[in-house]
Amino acid sequence: VVQPPVSPRTRHDLDSLTAVALEVFHERGYDATSMEQLAAAANLSKAAFYHHISGKEDLLARGLDRALSALFGVLDEPQATTGAALDRIRHVLRRVIELEDELLAEVTVLLRLRGNSQTERDALEKRRTFDRRVAELIATAQDEGSVRSNIDAHLSARLVIGTATSIVEWYRPGGKLAASRLADEVVALTFNGLTAQGEPQHRPSVSTKRS
């Protein structure tokens, strides 16, 4: 992570500027955002903005660090490190969705990186490490017999994380769909699938409509 050239007394300002910048990156995309737009969003002149940071890549690095620290923190939580692997996977999935609620801008910007700078490439490498850690959990669950053995653990991890992270494209915190309810739905769909459980998959279409 790039260390911004600031003294400790400006730390609080830097944190809030990071939050403002990540909201703008989230809305417009990092590459489409100019320093002028960042300064305007923070109600600062461009000169005052440059007093705090050396450039937008510093703010990107800080925002990505916030998202990645939170994601890796989840993997170290007791519910992710002890107990049945399937329960640990469920916990990680739920927490990823909670983080998308709490840190929507930071996580979304992380998910959209193109690798156009060393800062971006470093963050992409950490994302791949996160995927590998989830794949290890799925492999453990396969050993425990709770996850189907006829699927590739690494591919499954990518698809499951892909499902959980795809929500950033439309989920909005504070809307009518609460994060906890969304987490329930993602876990249910990921764990049990779309099809009716225990029912034949092809009932005649003349069947009566269910309530």
Binding site for its own copies (CB under 8 A): 27-29, 31-32, 84-87, 89, 111-112, 114, 116, 138, 142-149, 151-152, 155-156, 158-163, 165-167, 169-170, 177, 182, 185-186, 188-197, 199, 201-205, 207, 209-211
Least separation in angstroms between residue 105's CB and its own copies is 13
**Helices 85-102 and 56-75: angle between axes, nearest 10 degrees:** 150
Min CB(149)–its own copies separation in Å: 5
CA distance 208 to 206: 6
- Closer residue to its own copies (CB): 33 or 52: 33
Q: What is the b/e burial string over 19-28, where b = at least 16 CB atoms within 10 angstroms of the residue's CB? A: bbbbbbbbee
Please state the closest distance from residue 210 (CB atom) to its own copies, in A. Answer: 5
CB contact at 8 A, 37 and 75: no
Distance CA 104, CA 22 (A): 9
Task: Give whichever of 52 and 60 is closer to its own copies, judged by the CB atom.
Answer: 60
- Residue 36 tokens read as 């002028």
Tell me how far, at minimum, the Cβ of 10 lies from its own copies, in Å: 29
| End-to-end Cα spacing for the chain | 54
In whole angstroms, the minimum distance from the beta carbon of 11 to its own copies comes to 30
Encoded amino acid at 157, one letter? A
Taking the least distance from each CB to its own copies, the nearer of 18 and 108 is: 108
Minimum CB distance to its own copies smaller for 174 or for 193: 193
Q: How far is the CB of 63 from its own copies (least distance, A)?
A: 16
User: Which of 34, 45 has the CB closer to its own copies?
Assistant: 34
| Residue 51 vs 128, nearer CB to its own copies | 128
- Residue 55: name the closest of 2, 103, 12 by CA: 2
Kindly report the number of other CB atoms within 10 A of residue 195's CB atom. Answer: 9
Residues in the chain: 211
DSSP, collapsed to helix, strand or coil, labels residue 158 as: helix
